[in-house]
Chain A
């Protein structure tokens, strides 16, 4: 029996986090801060990788160390630019957060299948053919039409939400 392949993110986590934690500790940070900064950095790494925009000039670990350092400094209020604009920390003020939560409810109301389909296309950048297979559509055209129907559904929910908010 062959051993199941481990998720590469778990490997990267195990390999990189202790070094990130050590760096943050040396700068006076806590374990919790190190974890938050590391998760921000990993998210940036994963998003860039998925969208084909990841340009590594060294190892993934070195990239994570550098990015986590910037994320940690930013979390402490320093104005340091990230490798590319990343709004992981938004929303910031309470009113905005309430509004965002209420908008998120619009997304949830569009249904689990719609959300997962939209996530697969817009966030995970999965090819339409793979999405068609995964979600049980006859082909890419049906999957594409369904994707737009889902967007229409979310858009309608947002409109209802806005009408309630006024």
Chain B
């Protein structure tokens, strides 16, 4: 892999707590001293968050669809009507 991708891989390992104690210490020292590197780490942290939020939104759409589907089942809809009337 080219060096930029190797760096992305290293940042990922740190974000996912996959580095050894020594490697993590070296990483964190670099994080303190190298501003450009720190910016890349922050951007990659944001990437992880965006992926999580995107995925959760997809799952919420799926759950809404399941709810809609179940409301078409007479037994399920009847139970909810009984509870809320």
Contacts and interface: CB of A to CB of B under 8 A. Distances in A.
Interface of A: 7, 9-10, 13-14, 17-18, 21-22, 25, 30-31, 35, 39, 42-43, 46, 88, 100, 103-104, 106-107, 115, 118-119, 122-124, 145, 148-149, 151-152, 154-155, 158-159
Contacts of B63: 9, 13, 39, 42-43
B59 A155 contact: no
**Chain A contact residues: over half helix, strand or loop, or mixed?**
helix
Interface stretch (B17-25, B26-34, B48-56): B48-56
B74 interface: no
A158 B76 contact: no
Contacts, number: 97
Contacts of B48: 122
Contacts of B47: 107, 118, 151, 154-155, 158
A-B residue pairs, 10 tightest by C-beta: A123-B55, A18-B79, A155-B43, A148-B5, A107-B50, A148-B8, A154-B47, A119-B55, A39-B63, A118-B51
A43 B22 CA distance: 35
Nearest to B11: A151
A119 B54 contact: yes
B67 A115 contact: no
Contact of B83 (A18, A46, A145, A158): A18
A31 B1 contact: no
Interface in B46-85: 46-48, 50-56, 58-60, 62-64, 66-67, 69-70, 73, 76, 79-80, 83-84
Interface size class of B (residues with CB under 8 A): 35 or more
A25 B8 CA distance: 49
Counting chain B CB atoms within 10 Å of each CB, which of A10, A103, A118, A148 scores highest? A148
A31 B83 CA distance: 9
Contacts of B53: 100, 104
